[in-house]
Amino acid sequence: MRSLARIVSAAEAVAAIPSGATVAVGGFVGAGHPELLSAALERRFLDTGTPRDLTLFYCAGQGDRAERGLNHLAHPGLVRRVVGGHWNLAPKLGRLALAGEIEAYNFPQGVLCVLLREIAAKRPGVFTRVGMNTFIDPVNGGGRLNARTTEPLVERVRLDGEDWLRYRAFPVTVGLIRATTADARGNLTFEREALLGEALAIAQAAHNHGGLVIAQVERVVGRIADPKAVRVPGALVDFLVVSGGAQHDQTFAEPFNAAYVTGGNGAVEFPPMPFSERKIIARRVLREIQPGNIVNLGIGVPEGVAAVAAETGRLAEFTLTLESGPIGGVPAGGLSFGCSAHPEAVVDQPAQFDFYDGGGLDLAVLGALEVDAEGNVNVTTPGGGRFAGVGGFVNITSSARRVVFACPFRADGLAVAAADGRLRITREGAKAKFVPRVAQVCFHGPSAVARGQSVLYVTERAVFELAADGLRLRELAPGADLAADVLGRMEFAPRVGTPGTMPAECFAP
């Protein structure tokens, strides 16, 4: 007879992690991250010097840009190698990578969560075109972040006369996951969690390689009545750590928000969005969304599209989705990004990326740090000794039918005003965003042209479109001077022709 799940303290659980293990950690920003376990693992290493030389595997960024999440694991000696999708939320790990103190890889988030399923099934890896011709392509560095990182984990292969990327599978030997409730046999339910994430894939991968699965839960009950509510079966779980709610906030911004686990058409209150360049951009982007569209909004400037849609009564016309799994509802921002208020459904993250990779998105709206003459986009290297990482960006921009990059025309200090439907730039940004060549190619413009994608670049003063010969100016803001405000503030010359005019309603104060 199978024994009951073993309930232990966090300290006892992490003491079972051996040196040299490959540890997969679940979570998205703070949602679903087992904070009690990652903090306990840090304490054990600082107190005992063990475990050592871990390989850390994670899909979505997990952290608060300060101390929580994967920042706990940023100690030389504790971690030897990191394979991750997004780094900006764990700057302590990023500093180790940029200093060459650890081996470090940045791969697309969607590839990594699907790779966990391939690892669980002991298949040879993920075969995809996601990442081709970007910095993740082995011809451009293979996603390796420093000279210390030498092993190739992605390769080009030829299948049926076409080029593909193969992301290699490797054993996962420890899984750290989080759920809400466990029963006496270790079956896990997620009723207070905003996301399902990749918890099942992590548990299957570690179990099938003879490893260890540790689950952080809020509570243990005698029996779970509905077997369909169980998202990770107890047969996969080795240790349960009961948090009682401690270090188990729903997100790193909110202890608990019932809207994230309450389905159906609940009312979502948006404060009026202040007028700024971001509101101009959001208004213009909203015009690209057609009734019935399935849409993904990225973090940052694209978040404003949902707010403007709410102001104009358009939210019900289309379906917003997030790569973390929510479908419908209204995406949250900040350290609750990845959650959605009143979603219609929440699927696991690998399934969401299957949908995205297959072309399920009608439109994706993402930010951009830099854009160049070919239409290439950089989102990973903001400067200042930081590396952001691509997250789900590469998957989403590789497969959405239409892509809109939404960003201010210049960075660092830009301020604008408007009157009578006309733009006025009151303070120019100090830093160019439209540059001759991006620092790192995360979106490859020529590949998008070859795929037949429709691509726009929307700013507060101009809209560009991607063509076979590079960027073309499509629209100019009323009140903006083409030479002084646009061409003179770019570091390359786009194709101009006869641009149209951005709609005056975008500039209503």
**Residue pLDDT, tens place only, 324-345:** 999 999 999 999 999 999 999 9
pTM for this entry: 0.96
- Whether 151 is catalytic is no
Residues 266-295: pLDDT tens digits? Answer: 567 778 899 999 999 999 999 999 999 999
Name the strand (E) or helix (H) holding 83.
strand 79-84
Which amino acid, one-letter code, is at 295? V
Give the per-residue pLDDT at 431: 96
Give the per-residue pLDDT at 267: 64
* Rounded average pLDDT over 247-254: 98
> Domains of the chain, with CATH numbers?
6-242 (3.40.1080.10), 277-507 (3.40.1080.10)
> Which distant-in-sequence residues (6+ apart) come within 8 Å of 125 by Cβ?
115, 118, 166, 167, 168, 169
Contact status, residue 119 vs residue 125, Cβ threshold 8 Å: no
Catalytic, out of 254, 323, 370, 460 = 323
Tokens describing residue 262: 């309450």
| Alpha-carbon gap, residue 32 to 30, rounded angstroms | 6
| Alpha-carbon gap, residue 173 to 171, rounded angstroms | 6
Q: In this structure, are strands 162-168 and 154-159 parallel, antiparallel, or unpaired?
A: antiparallel
Contact status, residue 55 vs residue 78, Cβ threshold 8 Å: no
In sequence order, what are the beta bridge partners of 363? 295, 402
